[in-house]
Amino acid sequence: MIKHLVFCSSVILILALTVSGYADEHFPFTAEVIKDSVNVRAGANANFEKVDKLSRGTRVIVLGRSYEWYKIQPLVSTREYIRSDYLQIKAGGLAAEVSGDRVNVRASPNSDAAALGQVKKGTEVKILEQANGWCQLAPVAGTAVWVQQDFLKRVDG
């Protein structure tokens, strides 16, 4: 009985210390890539599609965490797509306004691709390229991508 109580107490203490480590994190914060080549994914799991690759020393803004994965702000190199029929494209074709509400921004020009976030009606976006009914966008506020936490080191307080 005493051994069981000691074991249970030890497990509870370990869990409390682990959870408090996560609870002490405050987001957002700046982190730096500490490996040579790091995959950026559309979701918090290695099974999600790759959407970018980061090199050692690249700085990112960490927005949150899901288990062992950090949710980061997309970089300029991150490709994001939206169906062109959800956009009111402005003269010149380099900017648009989202015409639908809660429209998915996707990791690739495909309706089955992972959603990186949603945008509200009226959101202004910058178009980088148009093809086959899709527009590639510069990173859009409110979207996010994921990196395994072991590949990043916090660099601000």
* Residues 69 and 123 reside in one and the same domain: no
The domain in which residue 39 lies consists of 2-76+145-154
Residue of 44 and 4 predicted with greater confidence: 44
Distances (CA, A) of 19 to 13, 23, 31, 106, 118: 10, 6, 21, 32, 30
Residues 95-133 have pLDDT tens digits of 999 999 999 999 999 999 999 999 999 999 999 999 999
* Residues 150 and 123 reside in one and the same domain: no
To the question of pTM greater than 0.85 for the whole model, the response is no
Q: Let me know: does 55 contact 45? Beta carbons within 8 Å.
A: no
Domains held by the chain: number: 2
* Residues 100 and 133 reside in one and the same domain: yes
**pLDDT at position 141 over 50:** yes
- Looking at this protein, which amino acid is placed at residue 75? L
